[in-house]
Amino acid sequence: MKVTADTHTMTRANSLSVRRMVLAAMLAGLGFVLSTFVYFPSMAPFQHFCNILGAVFLGPWYGFAAALLTGLLRMLTGRTIQAVVGAVFGAFLSGLLYQKTQKLWMGYVGEVIGTGFISAMVAYPLMKQFYGLDAQSPFFYIPAYLPSSAVGGLMGCAVILLLKRSGALDRMLEQLKR
């Protein structure tokens, strides 16, 4: 078989996809383990921590996939649909805003808005429909989702800033591009 430039390009693209899939799976595992064993009532700040890492390292789609996988794993261990809903909107919006601006604070804003408001509003009708929630307001989950996403997002930003300060962030991002 003759190796051409097209074959080399396809091999690099496949390698990049595999690296991103592996990192997404690792973030999903990390999010699941941390959210399972370090538990706060009605809060999962480590999910949002992982969402910020996913935004920077993976972008919106792979970050979304990692959050979805984490949420599904958490549901399998007895959590409600909030485990999925509370993760995916922030992960996607965070990744999208970070990808468009390359500004960490925009990734943070995306996480807080995506989870603290959008996810909270989406969770209400789902919880009402599937679990018989008797709350009277679609804003019911904002007081729980907003601080969780803010705290977890800040933890993720702190780790990214520490990696950046040490020079490791650039090396890690370069490894994802090879």
> Looking at residue 68, what is its pLDDT?
96
Yes or no: is domain 5-177 CATH 1.10.1760.20?
yes
Q: If you compute the radius of gyration of the chain from its CA atoms, what whole number of angstroms results? A: 17
58 contacts: CB under 8 Å, gap ≥ 6? 20, 23, 24, 27, 66, 95
CB-based contact 115:84 (threshold 8 Å)? no
The reported pLDDT for the residue numbered 2 is 55
Give pLDDT < 70 ranges for the chain: 1-13, 42, 178
Q: What is the pLDDT of residues 6-39, one digit of tens each?
A: 555 556 667 778 889 999 999 999 999 998 887 7
